[in-house]
Chains A and B, each alone.
Chain A
Amino acid sequence: MPEDTFSAMRQSIIDGAPDTAFSLAQQALAAGIATLDAINRGYVPGMHEVGEQFARRQLFLPDMVASAEAMRAAMAVLDPELKKLGTEGPMSGVVVLGTTKGDIHEIGKMLVGTMLSANGFKVHDLGVDVSAETFAAKAQEVNADIVGVSALLTTTMRNQRGVVEALTGAGLRPHVKIMVGGAPVTRQWAEEIGADGYAKDAMSAVALSRSLMEQRAARVMGPA
Chain B
Amino acid sequence: MRPKLEVLDQSLIERILDEAFQLINNPGVRIAPYVVELLRAAGADVRDGIAHIPAKLARSALQTVPRKFWLYDRRANPVVHYGGDRVHFDPGSSCLNILDPETQQARPAMASDLIRLVQVTERLPQFAAQSTAMVCNDVPPELGDWYRLLLVLWYSEKPVVTGAFSASSLHILLELLAIESGGRKALRNKPRAVFDVCPSPPLNWSEFASQNLVDLARAGVPAEIVSMPLAGATAPVTLAGSVVQHAAECISGITIHQLANPGAPIVWGGAPAIFDMRSGKTPMGAIETAMLDVACAQVGQYLGLPTHAYMVVGDGRVIDAQVEMESGISAVLGALAGINLISGAGMLDFLACHSIEKLVIDAEAIASAQRLIEGIEPRTESLALAAFAQAGLHGDFLKLKETRVLFRKEQHFPSAVIDRGFESDPAQVNGILNRARERVDELVMEYQRPEMLADREQAILQFAVAEAARAGLRTLPGISLLASADR
Contacts and interface: CB of A to CB of B under 8 A. Distances in A.
Interface of A: 57, 60-62, 102, 104-108, 111, 154-155, 158, 183-184, 201-202
A61 B279 CA distance: 8
Given A61-B278, A184-B96, A107 B230 contact: yes
A62 B234 CA distance: 13
A108 B141 contact: no
B280 A108 contact: yes
A209 B275 CA distance: 25
Contacts of A62: 232, 277
B144 interface: yes
A202 B279 CA distance: 9
Nearest to A64: B277
A104 B280 contact: no
A60 B234 contact: no
A84 B141 CA distance: 52
Given A111-B280, A154-B94, A104 B135 contact: no
Contacts of A202: 280
Most A CB contacts (10 A, CB to CB) among B96, B166, B206, B208 go to: B96
B350 interface: yes
A114 to B, nearest CB: 11
A198 to B, nearest CB: 14
A201 B280 CA distance: 7
B339 to A, nearest CB: 24
Interface string B142-171: 001100000000000000000001100000
Contact of A60 (B135, B165, B230, B278): B278
Contacts of A104: 200, 204, 206
A61 B350 CA distance: 18
Interface in B364-408: none
A60 B280 CA distance: 9
B232 to A, nearest CB: 7
Given A107-B234, A155-B144, A155-B166, 6 more contacts: A57-B278, A61-B275, A61-B280, A106-B234, A154-B96, A183-B352
Nearest to B350: A183
Contacts, number: 38
A54 to B, nearest CB: 8
B280 A158 contact: no
A60 B277 contact: yes
Given A107-B233, A184-B352, A154 B135 contact: yes
Interface string B219-246: 0000000000010111000000000000
A150 B182 CA distance: 42
Nearest to A152: B200
Interface string B315-353: 000000000000000000000000000000000001010
Contacts of B279: 201
15 contacts: A57-B278, A62-B232, A102-B208, A104-B206, A105-B200, A107-B230, A107-B233, A107-B275, A111-B280, A155-B145, A155-B166, A158-B141, A184-B96, A201-B279, A202-B280
Interface residues of B, number: 23
Contacts of A106: 234
A183 B277 CA distance: 16
Contacts of A154: 94, 96, 135, 144
A100 to B, nearest CB: 13
Task: From A108, A183, A201, A202, name the one whose CB has the most chain B CB atoms within 10 angstroms.
Answer: A183
A62 B276 CA distance: 10
A61 B135 contact: no
Contacts of B165: 155
A37 B29 CA distance: 47
Contacts of A105: 200
Among the interface residues A154, A158, A183, which one has the most CB atoms of the partner chain B within 10 A? A154
Interface string B278-309: 11100000000000000000000000000000
Nearest to B142: A158
Nearest to A161: B141
B154 to A, nearest CB: 22
A155 to B, nearest CB: 4
Contacts of A108: 280
Nearest to B232: A62
A184 B96 CA distance: 8
A58 to B, nearest CB: 10
A102 B280 CA distance: 22
A111 B96 CA distance: 24
Contacts of B352: 183-184
Nearest to A202: B280
A108 to B, nearest CB: 7
A199 to B, nearest CB: 11
Contacts of B234: 106-107
B241 to A, nearest CB: 15
A154 B109 CA distance: 12
A46 B296 CA distance: 41
Nearest to B141: A158
Looking at A105, A106, A155, which has the most chain B CB atoms within 10 Å of its CB?
Answer: A155
A158 B165 CA distance: 13
A107 B204 CA distance: 14
A194 to B, nearest CB: 17
Contacts of B141: 155, 158
A56 B279 CA distance: 12
A191 B291 CA distance: 39
Contacts of B204: 104
Nearest to A54: B278
A176 B233 CA distance: 31
A106 B280 CA distance: 13
